[in-house]
Copies of this chain bind each other. A is one copy, B any other.
């Protein structure tokens, strides 16, 4: 059993880590969706890996829980502990240095507290690309991004946070420092602890720094916003994009007409190029090339071939950087519109690509049987990742339909898992989906996870209640 933070522990932390014990602020106890409010016995913000190790050793000796804090942008409650003995919050905010940019190696070493935008900027200053990108990139920190293996807009081409990490430095639950900050593309020397810690959401240790992969910065890019007949045609167009442009396809986002209508309903002044006759389904795709290759020609070829094949109904190729930015602003404003309207239930699911059209049809029909909820499906079609959310009828409140939330989630997750999909594609398990993991997770996997957790963190101090109960 864990103990709450007490004055003796605080005194020991203050003595051992001068200046690291900080006042708890409201933002340390909040998460973006407002489902939970965290609690804190103390906030520690170490300035070095050694201080992180010392803080964790002190917590371990006192049998006190440790909740690591990155940018606080996680959507599954991994960063807030709402009940149980008051934990130590461990903020990585003061460890935010870029330790080195190795441009000719396409590698960069950053401390966990650097924001994604800071890492992107450090790469760009050397003419390189750090491709991990999503709406919260100005706030989200790289340590948290790795802890949850976040995804975003460029996964199709460059992979998730996991794929962009060459090595990590981390503090294990017993306070040992794992020195794995290698800038190597290949290293087969024992078990893959890097990938075990990535995605473990702070329950097996705290990532303090990472060696990250950079890429050549594409010289030119071309962006198209296309109306498609439906999800099946969008998938056919995705396969065609692979034939036309190979790995140069950098993004392939599915957007529903409902998503664009929500922008207006939410009072967000974002215009789209399709006029009044809004299509039911749209694709936003981007092709980016290095050197002499011409992405504009590839996008035009995709548009023309897709149109001839009936996979594209209409479309617009961005004619300027401003128009490109306007297209992307549409996509990136959808989550804010959703937030303003207020989802009854929201889901971050992944499916094998070929299962997506059938899923959308079946889930839509089953949800219609549940009640008059509106569905906004959008997301990273290239990755098989949909954000599939349900909303109240127009003009009604989320609260009035909250009684359907659990039923909607059960329908969505049951159908997803039955089709070989995942109930958490990129957001993680956190505290929100612990029950889903127990319900849908493979028993052998859960058993092995519990054994590993017990082996590395026998007292259970690291992020108690996240991922595993």
- CB neighbours of A361 from chain B (8 A): none
Bitwise, A429-469 to B at CB < 8 A (1) or not (0) is: 10001001100111111111101101110000000000100
Contact between chains at B186 and A105 (CB < 8 Å): no
Bitwise, A237-257 to B at CB < 8 A (1) or not (0) is: 001001111111000000000
- CB neighbours of A163 from chain B (8 A): 163
Stretch at the interface among A38-46, A289-297, A306-314, A331-339: A289-297
Is A193's beta carbon under 8 Å from chain B?
yes
Contact between chains at A292 and B216 (CB < 8 Å): no
In the assembled complex, the Cα of A443 lies from the Cα of B245 at a distance in Å of 46
Known contacts A182-B422, A352-B184; decide if A193 and B384 are in contact (CB<8 Å). Answer: no
Known contacts A106-B242, A245-B291, A291-B243; decide if A151 and B186 are in contact (CB<8 Å). Answer: yes
Contact between chains at B247 and A216 (CB < 8 Å): yes
Q: Give A440 Cβ to nearest chain B Cβ, in Å.
A: 8
Stretch at the interface among A6-14, A171-179, A365-373: A171-179
Known contacts A176-B443, A244-B291, A452-B455; decide if A192 and B190 are in contact (CB<8 Å). Answer: no
Is A155's beta carbon under 8 Å from chain B?
yes
Q: Give A32 Cβ to nearest chain B Cβ, in Å.
A: 17
Bitwise, A373-393 to B at CB < 8 A (1) or not (0) is: 000000010111100000000
Within 8 A of B (CB), among A184-220: 184-193, 195-196, 198-200, 204, 215-216, 218
Number of interface residues of A (CB under 8 A): 98
Is A345's beta carbon under 8 Å from chain B?
no
Which partner residue on chain B sits nearest A162 by CB separation? B192
Is A426's beta carbon under 8 Å from chain B?
yes
Contact between chains at A452 and B452 (CB < 8 Å): yes
Q: Give A204 Cβ to nearest chain B Cβ, in Å.
A: 7
Q: Give A185 Cβ to nearest chain B Cβ, in Å.
A: 4
In the assembled complex, the Cα of A304 lies from the Cα of B209 at a distance in Å of 40
Oligomeric state, in number of copies? 2
Is A114's beta carbon under 8 Å from chain B?
no
Bitwise, A75-106 to B at CB < 8 A (1) or not (0) is: 00000000000000000000000000011111
Q: Give A123 Cβ to nearest chain B Cβ, in Å.
A: 13
In the assembled complex, the Cα of A351 lies from the Cα of B384 at a distance in Å of 35
Contact between chains at A188 and B106 (CB < 8 Å): no
Contact between chains at B180 and A445 (CB < 8 Å): yes
Q: Give A303 Cβ to nearest chain B Cβ, in Å.
A: 13
Q: Give A159 Cβ to nearest chain B Cβ, in Å.
A: 8
- CB neighbours of A245 from chain B (8 A): 290-291
Known contacts A105-B353, A353-B104, A455-B451; decide if A189 and B422 are in contact (CB<8 Å). Answer: yes
Contact between chains at B183 and A447 (CB < 8 Å): no
- CB neighbours of A107 from chain B (8 A): 352
Q: Give A294 Cβ to nearest chain B Cβ, in Å.
A: 8
- CB neighbours of A448 from chain B (8 A): 172, 176, 178, 191, 193, 456
Is A3's beta carbon under 8 Å from chain B?
no
Q: Give A146 Cβ to nearest chain B Cβ, in Å.
A: 12
Is A344's beta carbon under 8 Å from chain B?
no
| Most chain B CB neighbours (cut-off 10 Å) among A156, A384, A456 | A384
Q: Give A356 Cβ to nearest chain B Cβ, in Å.
A: 10
Is A70's beta carbon under 8 Å from chain B?
no
Contact between chains at B188 and A216 (CB < 8 Å): no
Contact between chains at A248 and B350 (CB < 8 Å): no
- CB neighbours of A423 from chain B (8 A): 189
Is A267's beta carbon under 8 Å from chain B?
no
Q: Give A418 Cβ to nearest chain B Cβ, in Å.
A: 13
Contact between chains at B186 and A385 (CB < 8 Å): yes
Known contacts A297-B292, A428-B188; decide if A420 and B182 are in contact (CB<8 Å). Answer: yes
Is A330's beta carbon under 8 Å from chain B?
no
In the assembled complex, the Cα of A102 lies from the Cα of B356 at a distance in Å of 14
In the assembled complex, the Cα of A60 lies from the Cα of B217 at a distance in Å of 52
A-B contact list, 17 entries, CB within 8 Å? A172-B448, A176-B443, A178-B444, A180-B445, A187-B425, A188-B425, A188-B426, A190-B445, A190-B467, A191-B200, A191-B448, A193-B448, A216-B243, A246-B291, A291-B298, A292-B301, A293-B298
A-B residue pairs, 5 tightest by C-beta: A246-B290, A195-B195, A455-B455, A176-B444, A187-B422
